A and B are shown apart, each in its own frame.
Chain A
Amino acid sequence: MSTPTSNSHANEGQSADGLSRRSFLRSSAVLASGLAALAASLAPLRHLNDFPSLDQFLQKYYKELTPEEMAKVLKRIEGEVEREYGLRPHVRDLRPMNGVEFVYALNLTRCIGCRKCVHACVAENNQSRNPEIQYIRVVRLPHGSLDLEKAEHNYNPELVPEKGYFYMPVQCQQCKNPPCVKVCPVHATWQEADGITVIDYNWCIGCRYCEAACPYWARHFNFTKPSIPKERLNLDMAYLGNRPRRQGVMEKCHFCVQRTRVGRYPACVEVCPVGARKFGNILDPESEVSYILRTKRVFIQLKEELGTSPRFFYYFDV
């Protein structure tokens, strides 16, 4: 940028302060192009219509919020949702229950690959419909193999189940040793006492490290502002659960905290037409998951060789 002064020995047309007409034009052209380039690089911001409010911006970390502050935050979120969708939700901050550790068991003998769980989950958890974000990915595998290289999740036959295939729904495995939590640079995601790995959507910076770290493809990024039709909005919300997310944050299956932490079954369990999905408290010896893990052929935790120790078990009947 020192060009205009370095060639100042050219004395024709040189003004008193050492700036020639030519060098002035040059430097202003450089300056203009620099500004244009800056404007161009900032151009995508024009599409960002969803700036955080000051309150959102200054909100403290979930674990540092006092109960009074939390109440205020919940009120604010209810107001935000109401402004956006015209419907007043009920947002709660649900904490883990004492003496509860959730475990999921999925019966691969029963699953028919109908994908009802996928859509029940989308409806329950206010996921974006376009572009689609789905916590559950049902893959179709040929009989006699568990080679995920052969998995197909875009299968689309007239009728399911198809001959020669079995189906394996994959979602967040709620690992005991979660790689996604380890890589989060801002501690926006952590494992709670009941085993659910949750995300503080207000603390997430959207770096997507966790998405890269997760071996189950269970974490999803909101590339755009989620589009949720108003008539399908689930108004029963939780702070760490299904409240509408913003553009630029991660989300994932959280075992429906808005349901399970008040004692209900997750949406995918309730909708499964064949009863392949089982859920419960592993610390309760009477629960169905305890029975299953005790008596059934629980053959895998998916990718158990990675040492993530999932709380999600796949099993077969008999």
Chain B
Amino acid sequence: MKTGERTGAVLLVLAVVFFALGLKFVSGFGTRLPAPQTIPLVDPQFLETATIRKSYAELVRTKADLSDFDCYACHEKGKPPTLRFDAQHNVVVPQEHADVVMGHGTHNRNNNCFNCHDDQNLELLQARDGRQIKLAESPLLCGSCHGPTYRDWEAGAHGRTGGYWDRTAGAIQRKICVDCHNPHRPKIPPRNPAPGPHLLHPVAAAAVEASH
């Protein structure tokens, strides 16, 4: 019968099509899977938990070289060094202290070494109320001006934290001000960001590339 033959023909065509598709899928012919991109492992420097600098207290603790802090190897005891200023009232940092870049506070308001250092004993610090403070206890000096920050730091809200939150299980690791901030230039410099997410889809990745 006519309808029977037509149905048969349709079924045959369908069968051939399915068969061909099946072969194609099974063989994987013509399917273009995106090549797996290579993503380099992140540089271990970004996993580092160390601070960007080491405080005096940390140097003492790790028994590092402390010769930089031996003031009276060069200076004379009992003779306060004299400061020199240029025409703009910037303190002239002598060659021997070339690693010191003055940058504490804005508008050149904090340009006197002896705002913090004790001119009578260079191995000590001095708060503005006259208290003498050991180098290893420098947060007391910082706190004498930066009160709210010092309060936050004591409560654990300012600065880095590590170790144990549960004090019964272990010790918390806190850092002091100068573990992160250079006292002569406390603003922390900008840094390289770690790599962002790698986009899987090539078109999306190209769009992001183009937007930069």
Per-residue interface assignment for chain B, residues 6 to 17, with 1 indicating a CB less than 8 Å from any chain A CB and 0 otherwise = 011001101111
Q: At the interface with chain A, which of B105-113, B125-133, B156-164? A: B156-164
Q: Give the residue name and chain of the B residue nearest to A9 (CB).
A: B1
Residue from A37, A131, A157 in contact with B22 in the complex, judged by beta carbons closer than 8 Å: A37
Residue from A33, A155, A232 in contact with B14 in the complex, judged by beta carbons closer than 8 Å: A33
Residue from B42, B156, B164 in contact with A291 in the complex, judged by beta carbons closer than 8 Å: B156
- Judge whether B192 and A158 touch: CB under 8 Å: yes
Per-residue interface assignment for chain A, residues 109 to 152, with 1 indicating a CB less than 8 Å from any chain B CB and 0 otherwise = 00011111011101100000111101001000000000000000
- Judge whether A26 and B12 touch: CB under 8 Å: yes
Residue from A40, A123, A160, A318 in contact with B193 in the complex, judged by beta carbons closer than 8 Å: A160
**Across the interface, which residues of A come within 8 angstroms of B195, CB to CB?**
115, 156
Per-residue interface assignment for chain A, residues 97 to 110, with 1 indicating a CB less than 8 Å from any chain B CB and 0 otherwise = 10000000001000
- Judge whether A159 and B12 touch: CB under 8 Å: no
Verify if B37 is at the interface (C-beta below 8 Å from A).
yes
Residue from B4, B158, B190, B196 in contact with A3 in the complex, judged by beta carbons closer than 8 Å: B4
A67, B159: Cα distance in complex, Å:
41
**Across the interface, which residues of A come within 8 angstroms of B18, CB to CB?**
33-34, 36-37
Per-residue interface assignment for chain A, residues 154 to 174, with 1 indicating a CB less than 8 Å from any chain B CB and 0 otherwise = 111111110000000000000
- Judge whether B21 and A37 touch: CB under 8 Å: yes
- Judge whether A114 and B8 touch: CB under 8 Å: no
Verify if A279 is at the interface (C-beta below 8 Å from B).
yes
A9, B48: Cα distance in complex, Å:
84
Q: At the interface with chain A, which of B71-79, B86-94, B135-143, B165-173? A: B165-173
Verify if A43 is at the interface (C-beta below 8 Å from B).
yes
Verify if A233 is at the interface (C-beta below 8 Å from B).
no
CB distance from A119 to the nearest CB of B (A): 5
**Across the interface, which residues of A come within 8 angstroms of B41, CB to CB?**
129, 229, 232
Q: If A131-B200, A159-B192 touch, does A275 touch B22 (CB 8 Å cutoff)?
A: no
**Across the interface, which residues of B come within 8 angstroms of A318, CB to CB?**
148
- Which B residues between 1 and 55 are near A, CB-CB below 8 angstroms? 1, 4-5, 7-8, 11-12, 14-19, 21-26, 28, 36-39, 41-42, 46-49, 51-52
Verify if B208 is at the interface (C-beta below 8 Å from A).
yes
Q: If A119-B42, A130-B39, A271-B47 touch, does A33 touch B188 (CB 8 Å cutoff)?
A: no
**Across the interface, which residues of A come within 8 angstroms of B11, CB to CB?**
3, 26, 29-30
Verify if B61 is at the interface (C-beta below 8 Å from A).
no
| Interface SS, A side | mixed
Verify if B155 is at the interface (C-beta below 8 Å from A).
yes
Verify if A6 is at the interface (C-beta below 8 Å from B).
yes
- Judge whether A291 and B157 touch: CB under 8 Å: yes
- Which A residues between 233 and 286 are near B, CB-CB below 8 angstroms? 260, 262-265, 269-275, 278-281
Verify if A70 is at the interface (C-beta below 8 Å from B).
no
CB distance from A146 to the nearest CB of B (A): 21
- Judge whether B165 and A273 touch: CB under 8 Å: no
Verify if A287 is at the interface (C-beta below 8 Å from B).
yes
Verify if B202 is at the interface (C-beta below 8 Å from A).
no
Interface size class for chain A? 35 or more
Q: Give the residue name and chain of the A residue nearest to B172 (CB).
A: A265
Q: Give the residue name and chain of the A residue nearest to B194 (CB).
A: A115
Residue from A113, A160, A265 in contact with B163 in the complex, judged by beta carbons closer than 8 Å: A265
- Judge whether B192 and A270 touch: CB under 8 Å: no
- Judge whether A159 and B190 touch: CB under 8 Å: yes
Verify if A80 is at the interface (C-beta below 8 Å from B).
no
A228, B206: Cα distance in complex, Å:
26
**Across the interface, which residues of A come within 8 angstroms of B212, CB to CB?**
156
Per-residue interface assignment for chain A, residues 193 to 231, with 1 indicating a CB less than 8 Å from any chain B CB and 0 otherwise = 000000000000000000000000000000000000100
A122, B196: Cα distance in complex, Å:
13
- Judge whether A273 and B198 touch: CB under 8 Å: no
Verify if B60 is at the interface (C-beta below 8 Å from A).
no
CB distance from B55 to the nearest CB of A (A): 15
- Judge whether A32 and B19 touch: CB under 8 Å: yes
- Judge whether A157 and B193 touch: CB under 8 Å: yes
Q: Give the residue name and chain of the B residue nearest to A156 (CB).
A: B196
A62, B129: Cα distance in complex, Å:
62
- Judge whether B22 and A160 touch: CB under 8 Å: no
**Across the interface, which residues of A come within 8 angstroms of B196, CB to CB?**
115, 153-156
CB distance from A284 to the nearest CB of B (A): 9
Verify if A56 is at the interface (C-beta below 8 Å from B).
no
For the complex of A and B, the 6 pairs showing the least CB-CB separation, nearest first, are: A36-B22, A263-B169, A263-B166, A288-B156, A7-B4, A33-B18
Pairs across A and B, CB under 8 Å, 8 listed? A36-B18, A97-B166, A107-B157, A120-B46, A155-B196, A157-B193, A160-B190, A271-B47
